[in-house]
Chains A and B, each alone.
Chain A
Amino acid sequence: MGSTKTKTHDEQVTLLEQVIAKYQGQGRKALMQVLQEAQAIYGYLPLDVQRTVADGLGVSVAEVYGVITFYSFFSLNPKGAFEVSVCLGTACYVKGSQAILEKIEEELHIKAGECTPDGKFSINACRCIGACGLAPVIMVNEDVYGRLTPDQIPAILAKYKEA
């Protein structure tokens, strides 16, 4: 997914308009694709984006909201600059990913699903990122760390704290 930091608000609006124009004729059939692309532009799906999408495709805002809240991939809240995804899939769970998650929560002083006050980190408890061979696994944005133990966590986070 593209970086959200580099785009200005106006650029985001233009990009979203382009996406809607691309799918216009298809109506609600294209709702999922439009939302996926909108989230790639904004990083999340705030109310004004939902309105624009609803108007563009000719569906109600309630329907758009209903779809967004059904799927865990869509987010109503902004994510941190660094999103720490902790895999809680079965393969990772039996290898102790719960302890990894707790260590990260302790280090960042936030819970899964939350964002640090400075907007730098958010924690996302996710299910199987498909690297089960490396269990337990976490991802910080696109970087994957595998075969982890809780004591490795502070050093990993430190790299991003300085960034």
Chain B
Amino acid sequence: MDLYRAHVLVCCGTGCTSSQSGKIIENLEKELTAQGLSREVKVVKTGCFGLCAEGPIMVVYPEGVMYYRVSPDDVTEIVSEHFLKGRPVARLMTVQTAVPLDQARNVEESDFFKKQLRVALRNCGSINPESIEEYIAHDGYLALGKVLTEKMAPLDVINEVKKSGLRGRGGGGFPTGLKWEFAARQQNEQKYVCCNADEGDPGAFMDRSILEGDPHSVIEAMAIAGYAIGANQGYIYVRAEYPIAVQRLKLAIGQAKAYGLLGERVFGSEFSFDIEIRLGAGAFVCGEETALMRSIEGKRGNPTPRPPFPAVKGLFDKPTILNNVETFANIPVIFQKGADWFASLGTDKSKGTKVFALGGKVSNVGLVEIPMGTTVREIVFDIGGGIPNNKAFKAVQTGGPSGGCIPAKLLDTPIDYDNLIAVGSMMGSGGMIVMDEDTCMVDIAKFFLEFTVDESCGKCAPCRIGTRRMLEVLEKITGGTGTMEDLEALERLAVGIKEGSLCALGQTAPNPVLSTLKHFREEYVEHVTEKRCRCGVCKGLTQYFILTDLCKMCGLCAKRCPVGCISGVLGKEPFVIDTAKCIKCGACMQACKFKAVVKR
């Protein structure tokens, strides 16, 4: 084996690949060869480091220097300066977001990483996900080996998971060990282990990053689960929109089989386990467990009533367990470091860590993993670097279309399953979207309702019809014809939908409306009584005006107006907008160089 003096890690996750990390690697390899350094400096493709907004990202070890927003053209300079002359390129080491990340020169020192604890993401960004050898070198397959070669009884495996306190990371937070125990108790020749990699919450990419950055951890965990419940077949249901993840999973499954870590007689034991991949096809409801199993069976993804629970009668009517990607990614560590270690992290009822995809109006957009019990404030302001452009914080949305908005006064809520439900939101799978003063909360509620109306499978009436009625009411309010009775109607409908729907999609669909009604009622009232949207988002309520004292009478706005509703006299009289004719396209506002056009 060659001994390299330096390793360059380049992120090849979806975000960074979109900004040309593939080309960067190509250039790096060319340049290193040209400079005769190819045996001294090793280029490693890795998964996500977490700091997606600053991508493409490159880290150089042993120094731990991190480069941000590297372009393929920067490579020559990095190689000649850093690798040849040992002078890191300072220009690429600072972050460009409004609030500087940190001036720290070292990865682990920066604020972004200091408050994080990487358990599920332990290997993401530090190993090459396309190499099983690197996974093994980082204690990979140790847990599976221990379970099989030390001949742990399946029940002991389950007890270890129960003792760790691990709860499902896919949204519901059901205790994982308990789920496995139910399935293990069933007497059946054929059982299945499924992995939920459908990741339906729009704006969340935790599971994708794990699959892209550390696919073997999920494969290893599924095999452990298979041994524990007595299954020898696994399925990974993954979104077709995640081509890189699918390709890495396929590669990883092939490698694991070649090494005898998957397939017939794993580790030479009596236990055999195989995994197949199934692609989702863009239906949010297929993230729901019964719908997902119908989809694997090749049917429409309609949920089915529970009971019978999947542990009794699941995929192809056989006992089945389904766990989320991140849940699985935690399993190998529990066996490596012990259930007690895992249980020492987090809060009383929520053990371990949680990965969040931090996005929206926050400086450091990316992937973060924190111990349970960290406060929302710490995530948004310490790790996330706060709100860009000196805007004020308004809310954080968690739980996606099933969750709710957490307002500023609850920023100090420690994050765990129960606390988030108590404040009217939920953990969800880990999407965390930050909103600032410019985000209209009524519009956001409408956004999520449009989503559920679109994604409702249509099987049960409360969800199919009820969500549509709620959306109509919201459209009325944002369009300027809402009444105070409409607010009550929303609350009434919400109760009916929550109680009457067949699956959790409908049961949770009213949450975004209820939580915004609770915490931001004044915005709803303003829309109704004053016909005003304070953020200027709801088109039906906004009007454009020209401020007379700022108008330089240049007439540029009138020239751009597609409907000719702006009049004035060039150089003599300030221009005015005829609000009755205005179609609110905003062209005048973009045209004006003097900021004289305003909307309110």
Contacts and interface: CB of A to CB of B under 8 A. Distances in A.
Nearest to B285: A70
Interface string B269-295: 000000000111111000000000001
Contacts of A126: 241
Interface in B1-50: 14-15, 18-19
Interface in A17-39: 28-33, 35-36
Nearest to B241: A129
Contact of A70 (B53, B301, B366, B451): B301
Given A94-B360, A129-B241, A134 B19 contact: yes
B129 interface: no
Contacts of B384: none
A76 interface: no
Interface stretch (B105-113, B203-211, B414-422): B203-211
- Chain A interface size range: 35 or more
A32 B281 contact: yes
Contacts of B299: 28, 31, 67
Contacts of A144: 18-19
Contacts of A137: 18
A127 interface: yes
Contacts of B283: 70-72
A90 B447 contact: yes
Interface in B231-245: 240-242
Contacts of A73: 240-241, 280-282
Interface in A88-102: 88-95
A88 B443 CA distance: 14
A132 B435 contact: no
A151 interface: yes
A71 B299 CA distance: 10
B300 A90 contact: no
B278 A32 contact: yes
Contacts of A132: 15, 52, 203-205, 357, 359, 365
Contact of B298 (A28, A74, A93, A95): A28
Nearest to A135: B359
A65 to B, nearest CB: 10
A88 B448 CA distance: 11
A34 B157 CA distance: 38
Interface string B419-450: 00000000000010111000100001001000
A130 interface: yes
A91 B208 CA distance: 16
A130 B202 contact: no
A129 B435 CA distance: 20
Given A32-B278, A88-B202, A91-B433, A130 B15 contact: yes
Interface residues of B, number: 48
A28 B280 CA distance: 16
A46 interface: no
Interface in A60-74: 66-67, 70-74
Contact of B203 (A30, A35, A89, A146): A89
A133 B202 contact: no
Contact of B19 (A33, A89, A129, A146): A146
B506 interface: no
A108 interface: no
Given A93-B447, A134-B19, A128 B202 contact: yes
B590 interface: yes
B123 interface: no
B365 A133 contact: yes
A1 B240 CA distance: 11
A112 interface: no
Interface in B390-432: 397, 400, 431
B361 interface: yes
Given A90-B397, A131-B15, A95 B360 contact: yes
B457 interface: yes
A137 B361 CA distance: 15
Contact of A71 (B55, B297, B301, B365): B301
B256 to A, nearest CB: 22
B360 to A, nearest CB: 4
Contacts of A70: 283, 300-301, 457
26 contacts: A31-B298, A31-B299, A36-B281, A67-B298, A70-B300, A90-B360, A90-B433, A91-B359, A91-B360, A91-B433, A93-B447, A94-B359, A94-B434, A95-B361, A127-B451, A128-B203, A130-B15, A130-B205, A132-B359, A133-B52, A133-B54, A133-B365, A135-B360, A144-B19, A146-B18, A146-B19
Interface of A: 28-33, 35-36, 66-67, 70-74, 88-95, 126-135, 137, 144, 146, 151
9 interchain residue pairs of minimum CB distance:
A133-B52, A90-B203, A89-B202, A91-B359, A71-B281, A144-B18, A73-B281, A31-B298, A91-B203
